[in-house]
Amino acid sequence: MPTTTRRPISDTYFELVRRFPLVRIANDDELADALATVDDLLTQEMDAGQEAYLDTLSALIHVYENQHHAIADATPAEVLRELADANGLTGAAIAQRTGIVPSTVSTLMSGKRRPTPEQMTALAALFHVSPVVFLSSPLKPV
């Protein structure tokens, strides 16, 4: 079996492991402690050991949250409404700026209709986002 060379890990990594071990997060109290540790690390200028620790702790948090606190994908209508609100635009203003018929913008915002690729492109250009944000998750009905 070939040998591999691992990069050395600084003492700060092991200090953090002693303080908050990198093991599976089992409950919401441990999640809160893990998030507090992340918050603390993000307020510092980190060395390589702290960055390695943060990467692993973030992965453990991600696994726990996906299993216990999953957030559903937003529908295209939810995305459009959020972008409109964030930019202070009405459906009429969106229609005027994109060239999409006002009644169509209304049905898109209500979720009664999914945007076509052309409409996704026009909306993405207006809001300076990727058209992908308007794709529906195949598991979530509109």
Q: What is the pLDDT of residues 90-104, one digit of tens each?
A: 999 999 999 999 999
Give me the pLDDT at residue 141, please.
Answer: 45
Instruction: Report the pLDDT value the prediction gives residue 135, as an integer from 0 to 100.
Output: 83
- Distance, in Å, from the CA atom of 1 to the CA atom of 14, rounded to the nearest integer, reads 28
Name residue 9's amino acid.
Answer: I
Residue spans of the chain under pLDDT 70: 1-7, 137-142
DSSP H helices in 4-131: 11-19, 28-42, 48-68, 76-86, 91-98, 102-110, 117-127
Terminal-residue alpha carbon distance, the chain:
53
Whether this model's pTM surpasses 0.85:
no
* 44 DSSP 8-state letter: S
Summarize pLDDT for 107-124 with one digit per residue, the tens.
999 999 999 989 999 999
Q: What are phi and psi of 130, to 5 degrees?
A: -75, 140
How far apart CA 93 and CA 80 sit, in angstroms, is 13
Q: Could you give the C-alpha distances from 105 to 50, 70, 83, 101, 128, in angstroms and in order?
A: 48, 30, 13, 6, 18
